[in-house]
Amino acid sequence: MTKKLTLFILLIATSFSFGQSGVTSNQLQLNAITTSMPFLSINPDSRSGALGDAGTALNATASSIYWNTAATAFSKKGGEIGISYVPWLRQLTNDIHLSYLSGYKRIRERHAVSGALRYFSLGEITFTDNSGQVLRNDKPSEFELAAGYAFKLTDRFSIGINGKFAYSNLTGGLPIPGSETKAGVAGMTDVSVLYSNPDIILGGKNGTLNLGATINNVGNKVSYSSRSSSDFLPTSLKLGAAYTTEIDKHNSLTTSIDLQKLLVPTPPLTSSSINYADIPAGTIVGKSNDVGVIAGMIQSFYDAPGTPVRDAKNKLVYNSDGSIQVENNSKLIEELKEINIGGGLEYNYMNLLAVRGGYFFESQSKGGRQFFTLGVGLKYNVIGFDISYLAAVSRNNPLANTVRFSIRFDLGSN
Top pLDDT among 271 and 240 is at: 240
Residue 274, pLDDT > 80, answer no
In this prediction, residue 349 carries a pLDDT of: 95
**Residue type, position 388, single letter:** S
- Residue 400 · residue 89 · CB < 8 Å: no
Question: Confidence class of residue 177 from pLDDT cuts 50, 70 and 90?
Answer: low
**b or e along 330-360 (b: 16 or more beta carbons within 10 Å of the residue's beta carbon)?**
bbeebbebbbbbbbbebebeeeeebebbbbb
Domain residue spans in the chain? 3-266+339-410, 271-337
Of 140, 146, 42, 40, nearest to 87 by C-alpha is 42
Question: Confidence class of residue 14 from pLDDT cuts 50, 70 and 90?
Answer: very low
- Residue 61, Ramachandran bin (φ over 0: left; ψ between -120 and 50: alpha; else beta): beta
CA dist 333 and 350 (Å) reads 44
Of 104, 38, 36, nearest to 74 by C-alpha is 104
Q: Count CB neighbours of 315 within 10 A.
A: 10
List, for residues 117-152, the tens digit of each pLDDT value. 999 998 887 777 677 777 677 788 999 999 999 999
- Residue 361 · residue 342 · CB < 8 Å: yes
Sign of torsion over alpha carbons 81, 101, 242, 300: positive
List, for residues 41-90, the tens digit of each pLDDT value. 999 999 999 999 999 999 999 999 999 999 999 999 999 999 999 999 88
CA dist 71 and 77 (Å) reads 12
- Give kind and range of the element (H or E) at residue 331: helix 330-337
Of 241, 243, 240, 242, nearest to 202 by C-alpha is 243
- Fold designation for 3-266+339-410: Porin (2.40.160)
pTM for the whole structure: 0.88
Alpha helix ranges (H) inside 267-321: 293-299
